[in-house]
Chains A and B, each alone.
Chain A
């Protein structure tokens, strides 16, 4: 029974199938809404599914200069780590795995997809990928620092005297004290996390690592066929994982008691967040330079997160 339940968690909900489908759906919403914002008709909502299946049917080419094992393993590693991350994030009251240090585990797991991109890019042996991975590393360094501060602020607020690093604990705290977003001290942290999401996912103003018009999609340049499909899927899944992390940290107080209804509410909140922090920003801005991105995160976003941390520490 327990094994069956575990398999169900990993393969269907909230694991593999759920993340893949909702992730691709979010990517579709993003493209469609973006098109409507630019007064276009836009692709159908399920366009990312078409893209995924098409890439699955293409020939996979491994370049001569590439290290075959690392080149083909990288997308799978990123994919697996995203599925595991989703298992740790509770859907309101319902979580597959829980422990006392979830938040720290998630922090590590979230870096793995980016590292997988770096490994894959460097294994492909292309100079464009070289530039791409150096940019990806800088992007990672820029958003990790404010992300840690945001998580610290929430952990401190929920735990009181000692830090609370368990996501289920944080959700339980929100259910008795109201969602994180209504606490004044956490509002700057929420804003900071909203700005971190597009960099983590790699959408328009922060997609310096995959700039397709200047360095031809950077680390992905040599990928084709199934591995490329996996990378595209990873990006879509990251959208869902990050927005549901946000929901868990700041909207955790909403709970209807019915798992299916909770999942539906989660999906709706994720769609709203995607439009707000990815599509809208994408539509109104142009790509930043890498040094501007670094500066933006270490001053403005880190400032917001620090602000929140101080407010929490003085007990507001």
Chain B
């Protein structure tokens, strides 16, 4: 019974930790907009966590500058299992407008596995909510797979 309750709760209270890897701040503002009264992501249980140790979903925005790459990896290591990694905006996926720069390590897939990618520059808040919701469902699957 407890196992089922835990698995069910996984998808109902995902806490988000946001890592900015050199984004232009557009995506970061949009993520905060999702939590405001208009879109109110808290009705699905989403909450912004202050530290990676409390997080379930790590949201990465920005084109991964060379300086931030090591910090990103170290942050991701500190997140307890089960966890999900979501990329926000086109930057972490392709480099977007920063592509080709000597200081950008863009496709994030080179270093970590990404569960959900939200595309757009910037993505609409509706798209962000949908992406995060999908990530929450993946969390539940991961939890169930963990126990088997």
A-B contact count (CB 8 A): 86
* Contact status B50-A221, CB under 8 Å: yes
Taking the nearest CB of chain B, how far is it from the CB of A64, in angstroms? 11
Q: Which residue of B lies closest to A38 (CB)?
A: B37
Interface of chain A residues 25 through 42 with chain B (CB within 8 A) = 31, 35, 38-42
Segment among A43-51, A151-159, A182-190, A273-281 that sits at the interface with chain B: A43-51
| Distance of A39 Cα from B78 Cα, bound (Å) | 35
Interface centre among A58, A216, A217, A221, by most chain B C-beta atoms within 10 angstroms, is A58
Q: Mark A180-220, 1 if CB is under 8 A from B, else 0.
A: 00000000000000000000000000000000110011001
Which residues on the A side are within 8 Å of B40 (C-beta)?
Answer: 35, 40-42
* Contact status A50-B45, CB under 8 Å: yes
Q: Which residue of A lies closest to B4 (CB)?
A: A53
* Contact status B54-A47, CB under 8 Å: no
* Contact status A221-B53, CB under 8 Å: yes
* Contact status A53-B6, CB under 8 Å: yes
Taking the nearest CB of chain A, how far is it from the CB of B14, in angstroms? 8
A306 located at the interface, meaning its Cβ lies under 8 Å from any Cβ of chain B in the complex: no
B10 located at the interface, meaning its Cβ lies under 8 Å from any Cβ of chain A in the complex: yes
Number of interface residues of A (CB under 8 A): 33
* Contact status A54-B78, CB under 8 Å: no
Q: Mark B30-66, 1 if CB is under 8 A from A, else 0.
A: 0000000100101111000111011010000000000
Which residues on the A side are within 8 Å of B124 (C-beta)?
Answer: none
* Contact status A228-B54, CB under 8 Å: yes
* Contact status B82-A35, CB under 8 Å: no
Interface centre among A39, A50, A216, by most chain B C-beta atoms within 10 angstroms, is A50
Identify A57's interface contact among B6, B43, B44, B50, CB under 8 A: B6
* Contact status B7-A57, CB under 8 Å: yes
| Distance of A53 Cα from B13 Cα, bound (Å) | 9
Which residues on the B side are within 8 Å of A31 (C-beta)?
Answer: 42
Interface size class of B (residues with CB under 8 A): 20 to 34
A56 located at the interface, meaning its Cβ lies under 8 Å from any Cβ of chain B in the complex: yes
| Distance of A39 Cα from B10 Cα, bound (Å) | 26
A88 located at the interface, meaning its Cβ lies under 8 Å from any Cβ of chain B in the complex: no
Which residues on the B side are within 8 Å of A35 (C-beta)?
Answer: 40, 42-43
Knowing A43-B45, A47-B13, A53-B9 are in contact, say whether A224-B80 is a contact too (CB < 8 A).
Answer: yes
Which residues on the A side are within 8 Å of B12 (C-beta)?
Answer: 47, 50, 54
Which residues on the B side are within 8 Å of A40 (C-beta)?
Answer: 37, 40, 42-43
Which residues on the A side are within 8 Å of B143 (C-beta)?
Answer: 57
Which residues on the B side are within 8 Å of A217 (C-beta)?
Answer: 50-51, 54
A60 located at the interface, meaning its Cβ lies under 8 Å from any Cβ of chain B in the complex: yes
Q: Which residues of B contact A (CB under 8 A)?
A: 2, 5-10, 12-13, 37, 40, 42-45, 49-51, 53-54, 56, 78, 80-82, 143
* CB<8 Å pairs between A and B, sample of 14: A31-B42, A42-B42, A52-B9, A53-B2, A53-B8, A57-B7, A58-B81, A59-B82, A61-B80, A217-B51, A221-B51, A224-B80, A228-B53, A228-B54
Question: Can you list the 5 inter-chain pairs with the closest CB atoms, starting with the nearest?
Answer: A57-B6, A212-B50, A216-B50, A59-B80, A53-B9
